[in-house]
Structure formats: structure tokens, C-alpha cells
Amino acid sequence: MMTAAALFVKNGERPSPVSRSQCSPTRQSLSLSEGEEQVDRLQQVELVRTTPMSHWKAGTVQAWLEVVMAMPMYVKACAENVKSGKVLLSLSDEDLELGLGVCSSLHRRKLRLAIEDYRDAEAGRSLSKAADLDHHWVAKAWLNDIGLSQYSQAFQNHLVDGRMLNSLMKRDLEKHLNVSKKFHQVSILLGIELLYQVNFSREALQERRARCETQNIDPVVWTNQRVLKWVRDIDLKEYADNLTNSGVHGAVLVLEPTFNAEAMATALGIPSGKHILRRHLAEEMSTVFHPANSTGIREAERFGTPPGRASSATRAGKEENSGGIKYKAGRLPLGKIGRGFSSKDSDFHDDYGSLQNEDCGDDDPQGRPEQRRLEGYNSLEVTNV
């Protein structure tokens, strides 16, 4: 019987030599070791999901930091300094900065909020629903839904997840996340308000959006894309694309009453001289968005979540606890985001909105209890050219 090597030679081919490295026992040992490490990491991640943090050993802490929190850059320092979940639960902001080398204030906040969530779980409560919203979902899906996908990379870089969304304030958006346009800041904060209304449940939000995909109901949950569809359905399709990447979504239209038909017409780019078109838009908006407040209350009650309030946004109170910062599930009434929209600013595309009398305090919310998320938005203007 002809061997495989002889058959190759007969056909004018020569078998490629097997490299020494492929046969090397050392290489095989390394491959086995890498495989074992991956299996061990998966086992440790499973322990994260099923075991209280206070019971974690060093390997579980490292797997949580690398896989769950998506922070592999801090694993080495963590391995050297944090040997158990009990130690992790006690870390302060200073410990995170000096002991683990977490220089980014937003990264430290992400860790503090997560640790605080696990502290609550130690007391018998389950982890918050916001824990299910990872930074990939926030940066890709959520920002796209509210029509601001242009900020995806900044949110991705800072690993902004669901817990962090609930802590964001306008100074965070401006200083860390490159959101300088005031209307875009308001759009993001009202998007967070909507998440709060559904208790940060992605499933509840998706269920409500599915029901209104083909019906003009429950507009507070409409995505930016659903608003564009509605604009096309009312025969204003030539203006619909102007809302792409505009930050106009259902929560803006429902929760901020000063975003009226005039503001919407300006956002769409309908010329001020086209009075009949603007009147048509106003009539269509009145049938869908004006009854939305009472509808939103009924929906919120049905889903067991607190109803939204016109022109308000969530700002959780906070308290110091073992060097961490805790964001309570409390609501604080806010003043209006704006006192009206006008067409004074001719540079709509470069700056979608203009807010005055802004409070430009420190970037870290720690030490400012009961600070309101949208405090300082005293005048908001929407303009177009």
C-alpha cells in the first residue's frame, strides 16, 4: 500500500514539513495551559453570578473585573492588592485610585456603583436591573435609539453602563463624554429618565416599543427611528431625515412640554414661512403627544414603576457608605429644562440647542447631595437654517 508521503511524491507534490514548534512539548503544554486558564476564567465568572461578593476569592475578583466589568487593564494591580471579595467590598475611592491605579474618575465611579450594588445584594436585595445593561448596549443600542449614535465612541471609551447612566449629570456629559451641545445633553438625560420609569428593565422597554411599532400609542418610549417613521407617515417625509442624529426621541416629545410644535418644526427644518405645513404638524402632534402624559402614567402603573413627570428627570440621592457612593432610587422634582424654544440661533446643525445660566461645578457628583440632574437648564433654544 502506498503511503500518503509516496502519493504526494508521485503526484509531483511534497508534503510540507511539520515545524519543530508544532511538535514541541513546550508549545503543547502552553496551549493546554491557555485552555485551562480559559476554563478556569469561565468557572470564576459563573461564581460571580451565583456567589455573594463577600465569598469571592482572588481569582473570582479578577474574573469579575476583567469579564463582567470589562476592565482588564486593572487586573494586574488587582491581583497584587485585592485577595478577596471582602476586601473589594471595603475599597474606597482613594483605594481604587492609589491601590489599583484607576485614574479615570468615571472608571472609579463605575466600580464604586457596582460595589455598592453588590453591598445591597449582601443585605438580601437583588442586584439592580441597571446591572444588566453593559457598556456595549449603552454605547451601541441605547445611544442609537435616542438618536445620538455620534457619541458612541466616547461612551465606549469610558465604559458607561446602566449604573453609570443613572449617575450622569450634565457636567459629566460635557467634560468627559464630549457632549457639548446643550440640547443633546437634555436628550440624553431625558432618555435616562425613561430608563428610570421602566426600572432600567430592557425587557419592559422592548415590550412597550414592540406594541407601538405600528400604532401611534405610548409615544414616550418611541426611539428616534420611530419618530422618523411617524414624520413620514404624516406626509412630511421630505423633512424626516433632518431628525437623524438629532437627539429627538419620544421622551423629549412627551416629558418636555416646551418642546412644542414650533420647536419640532424647527428641528425638522420646515421653513418659517410654510405656515400651513407647520399648522399640519401641530395638529398631528396634538393628537399623539398631548394625551401622552396620562397614558404614560397608566403604563407606568401597569409595569409597577413610578410614572414620569413632565419636564422632569431622575436624579438619585446619594450617601457615603464605607468610602463608596450610593445612588438611591429616589425621584426629585425638577424645574423645566427650558422656558421655550426659538429660532434666534442660525447655527442649528453646529449647535442644536443653547442653554444659559449653566452650573459648571465640579465633575464628580460626590459630596453634592440632592443635586438635581437637569438643574441649570434655564433656557433652551432649538433653531435651524
What pLDDT digit, counting tens, does each position of 234-264 carry? 999 999 999 999 999 999 999 987 899 999 9
User: Is residue 144 located within the same domain as residue 116?
Assistant: no
More confident residue, 122 or 228: 228
* 219 CB-near residues (< 8 Å, 6+ apart): 212, 250, 253, 254, 288, 289, 292
Residue 67: give its domain's CATH number: 1.10.150.50
For the chain, percent of residues with pLDDT exceeding 90: 59
Q: Is residue 364 assigned to a domain?
A: no
User: Is residue 141 located within the same domain as residue 121?
Assistant: no
User: Is residue 152 located within the same domain as residue 48?
Assistant: no
Distance in angstroms between the alpha carbons of the first and the last residue of the chain = 84
Report the candidate in 280, 256, 273, 284 with the shortest Cα–Cα distance to residue 341.
256
Q: What is the mean pLDDT of the chain?
A: 77
Q: What is the grid cell recorded at 96? A: 481604587
The reported pLDDT for the residue numbered 377 is: 53
Pick from 74, 93, 127: which residue ends a domain? 127
Q: Is residue 344 assigned to a domain?
A: no
Q: Is residue 275 assigned to a domain?
A: yes
Read off the pLDDT band of 101 (50, 70, 90). very high
- The mean pLDDT value for 32-47 works out to 73
Read off the pLDDT band of 348 (50, 70, 90). very low
Q: Is residue 157 assigned to a domain?
A: yes
User: Is residue 184 located within the same domain as residue 55?
Assistant: no
More confident residue, 156 or 48: 156
pLDDT digits (tens, 9 = 90+) for 366-385: 433 333 455 545 445 554 42
Q: Is residue 149 assigned to a domain?
A: yes
User: Is residue 83 located within the same domain as residue 161?
Assistant: no
> What's the one-letter identity of residue 87?
V
More confident residue, 91 or 300: 91
User: Is residue 81 located within the same domain as residue 111?
Assistant: yes
The reported pLDDT for the residue numbered 125 is: 86
- Is the pLDDT at 281 greater than 90? The verdict is yes
The reported pLDDT for the residue numbered 44 is: 83
User: Is residue 135 located within the same domain as residue 237?
Assistant: yes
Read off the pLDDT band of 42 (50, 70, 90). confident
Residue tagged 414620569 (cell numbers): 308
The reported pLDDT for the residue numbered 45 is: 81
pLDDT digits (tens, 9 = 90+) for 213-233: 999 999 999 999 999 999 999
Range of the domain at 174: 131-288
Pick from 288, 305, 323: which residue ends a domain? 288
Q: How many domains does the chain have?
A: 2
User: Is residue 103 located within the same domain as residue 168?
Assistant: no
Read off the pLDDT band of 350 (50, 70, 90). very low
Q: Is residue 236 assigned to a domain?
A: yes
User: Is residue 62 located within the same domain as residue 173?
Assistant: no
Lowest mean pLDDT among 35-49, 151-165, 195-209, 251-265: 35-49
- The mean pLDDT value for 57-68 works out to 94
- The mean pLDDT value for 60-77 works out to 95
Among the ranges 31-45, 195-209, 311-325, which has the highest mean pLDDT value? Answer: 195-209
More confident residue, 256 or 352: 256
User: Is residue 233 located within the same domain as residue 91?
Assistant: no
Pick from 270, 288, 306: which residue ends a domain? 288
* CA–CA gap between residue 52 and residue 64 (Å, rounded): 12
User: Is residue 69 located within the same domain as residue 138?
Assistant: no
* CA–CA gap between residue 103 and residue 19 (Å, rounded): 45
- Is the pLDDT at 116 greater than 90? The verdict is yes
Lowest mean pLDDT among 154-163, 268-277, 294-303: 294-303
- Is the pLDDT at 168 greater than 50? The verdict is yes
Q: Is residue 18 assigned to a domain?
A: no
pLDDT digits (tens, 9 = 90+) for 130-162: 999 999 999 999 999 999 999 999 999 999 999
User: Is residue 138 located within the same domain as residue 106?
Assistant: no
* CA–CA gap between residue 68 and residue 368 (Å, rounded): 29
The reported pLDDT for the residue numbered 381 is: 55
